[in-house]
């Protein structure tokens, strides 16, 4: 059972985490939700389309202008509080690697800390334990935040992913983060080239076999773009194909831009797997 905020999810119940970037330079939407009103409209739309989690980020993942902890908090803390006020039942996640920002957003009402940079600040897990919130434990290949990989190599990329993410998850549980609120993430593109990310996808069942809920952040990423030779705005089909494969191999939580399309993919895979009945079943019965 995965428990996040006020919600509980069965092991085969797919969960959508919608991305809401509070940055002026996000790679996908170029700052479309930097201002409050468009961002709140995005939250409302995502919830209506089936997102259970809203993931709020105040710093672009890739290289760019420096964003201090104070500026990151300014972009996220008040917004978290407003989302909490307007949507009391939604699960609020914040994408941050900094413990001080994690503390501030937890005070404002966050339910999950999404640590996309692999525990670079070990204090973040301590914050999650103190506030009894969820934590995403990600493999980033030892990369520093906001850097791109360069000629990185692994003897066995999935072995490294498992060693790092399970280690981070076990440490978090020992600190006091509720075990049922910890997720592991292979970290597509983070500290990896395209072949590494493809292999991580192909072997996701090994992550699922650990028993920790697996979160994947696939949406419009470079490994999809390079695989199909498509620019950012033309990666939705590749993303959805990767989502279907990930669902079949046991991933549970999906961090996405396109909520409605992802919901259909996950519902279809769940029905094929026998975990969900068809919404309508009239064919051959009339």
Write out the catalytic residue numbers: 221, 255
- Closest CA relative to residue 132, chosen from 154, 111, 118, 117: 111
Token look-up 């934590």 returns: 135
- Closest CA relative to residue 242, chosen from 173, 281, 189, 163: 189
H or E segment at 170? helix 157-175
Angstrom distance (rounded) from CA 109 to CA 111: 7
Angstrom distance (rounded) from CA 20 to CA 82: 14
Q: What is the CA radius of gyration of the chain?
A: 18
CA atoms within 13 A of residue 224's CA, in its CB half-sphere: 19
Angstrom distance (rounded) from CA 244 to CA 247: 5
> What tokens were used for 132?
């009894």
Buried b (16+ CB within 10 A) or exposed e, 198-209: bbbbebbebbbe
Angstrom distance (rounded) from CA 219 to CA 57: 15
């Amino acid at each position: 059972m995965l428990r996040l905020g006020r919600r509980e999810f069965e092991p085969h119940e797919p969960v959508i985490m919608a991305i809401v970037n509070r940055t002026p330079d996000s790679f996908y939407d170029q700052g479309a939700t930097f201002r409050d009103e468009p961002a709140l409209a995005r939250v409302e739309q995502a919830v209506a389309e089936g997102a259970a989690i809203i993931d709020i980020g105040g710093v672009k993942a890739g290289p760019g202008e420096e964003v201090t902890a104070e500026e990151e908090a300014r972009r996220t803390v008040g917004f978290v509080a407003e989302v909490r006020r307007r949507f009391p039942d939604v699960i609020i996640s914040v994408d941050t690697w900094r413990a001080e920002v994690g503390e501030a957003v937890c005070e404002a009402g966050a339910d999950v800390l999404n640590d996309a940079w692999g525990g670079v600040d070990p204090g973040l897990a301590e914050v999650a334990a103190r506030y009894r919130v969820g934590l995403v434990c990600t493999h980033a290949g030892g990369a520093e935040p906001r850097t791109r990989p360069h000629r990185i190599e692994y003897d066995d990329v999935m072995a490294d992913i498992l060693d790092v993410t399970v280690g981070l998850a076990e440490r978090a549980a020992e600190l006091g983060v509720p075990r049922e609120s910890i997720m592991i993430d292979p970290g597509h593109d983070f500290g990896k080239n395209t072949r590494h990310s493809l292999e991580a996808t192909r072997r996701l069942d090994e992550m699922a076999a650990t028993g920790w809920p697996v979160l994947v952040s696939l949406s419009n990423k470079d490994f999809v773009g390079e695989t199909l030779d498509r620019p950012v705005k033309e990666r939705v089909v590749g993303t959805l194909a990767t989502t279907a494969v990930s669902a079949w191999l046991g991933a549970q939580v999906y961090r996405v831009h396109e909520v409605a399309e992802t919901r259909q993919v996950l519902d279809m895979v769940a029905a094929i797997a026998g975990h969900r009945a068809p919404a309508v079943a009239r064919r051959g019965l009339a």
